[in-house]
Amino acid sequence: MPVAFLRNLYAQWFPPAAKFTEKEVPSQQGRVFIVTGGNSGVGFELCKILYGTGATIYMASRSKEKAEAAIQAIVEELQSSATPGQLKFLQFDLNDLESVKKSAEAFSQQESKLDVLWNNAGSGANLVEVGAKTNQGFEAMVGMHCIAPLLFTELLRPKLQAAVASGSPGSTRVIWASSFLAEGAAPTNGIEFDKLENGTKDRTRNYAVSKAGNWFLGREYAERRGGDGIVSVVQNPGNLNSGSYGGTPKLQMMFVNPFLHDIKLGAYTGLFAGLSPDITQEHNGAYVIPWGRIRPDENSHRKDIIKALTASENGGLGYSKKFWDWCEEQWKPFCQSTSI
């Protein structure tokens, strides 16, 4: 393996202690957040931290029962918090674009702005059968991790723009969940466009492609919406002992377990991406690594992916724009009545 790749792996698998935790977060009263997939895993831990800041947090989840149980658990644990926030359930299913549309509409009817959107929800590679499709017939990994979150984010753009108008520069953000596997298991250039429709028989590869796709969308969002004052941040939450490894064979997990970290540390990565003052408008499109560090040197990433991320007019492949356009074309037939 190239030395640069091994250094990159070490930096993300064995990070230093988090420096931006709940102790560093000031009151967020008056601010409104959405955390998709907030009823479990990293999303749950992030919602728990955010609740203690006094913010209004929408826990976007497929299961109302599980979300309400998660909300109750957080409220009971933090009932003595000095500045308790509000936790609200928001029906949301990445497998179904109709649910995504209704979720954005339901939020918009309740709130005048959205300060930070964490596109956190998703599924581990081994929890999805080979050949699985979403309700609209998209390959499951790209459908859930890329097409649906992009639609959700675009539908909520007016609310993000409203937050920009009333917030401090750089504080309105959209967070995209990537993974080290975007570099460790994705094909050359991160995405094979001719295989997006049906994926491959390799579930890990399909997952890695979707996480490279999130990286591309996060960069492209910075290009397209940065002028609105919205900051787009891509994050690798970290190598965590979470549901993303569900369905992985026990023998394989014997080798993986020693390298897994507590889920709450992954929430610190997301907390940094969403709220740290170290991220400004000048960092639009930044890639955040565990447990809350801006990746400063793109030479440490895979060179083929960096070339794919780079606009064609700057000597790159322009895959960020190409993938955004591809995702948009997939959901447009199902959203003809939606004005964006």
The set of catalytic residues is 207, 211
| Strand order across the beta sheet in which 231-235 lies | 86-91, 56-61, 32-36, 116-119, 173-177, 231-235, 286-289, 293-294
- The values of phi and psi at residue 134, to 5°, are -80, 175
Q: At a CB cut-off of 8 Å and minimum separation 6, what does 29 contact?
A: 53, 54, 55, 83, 85
- State how beta strands 116-119 and 173-177 pair: parallel
Angle formed at CA 213 by CA 121 and CA 66, multiple of 5 degrees: 5
146 DSSP assignment: I
Q: Do the Cβ atoms of 58 and 152 come closer than 8 Å?
A: no
Q: At a CB cut-off of 8 Å and minimum separation 6, what does 158 contact?
A: 108
**Which tokens in the block code for residue 291?**
């447990």
Q: Do the Cβ atoms of 248 and 193 come closer than 8 Å?
A: no
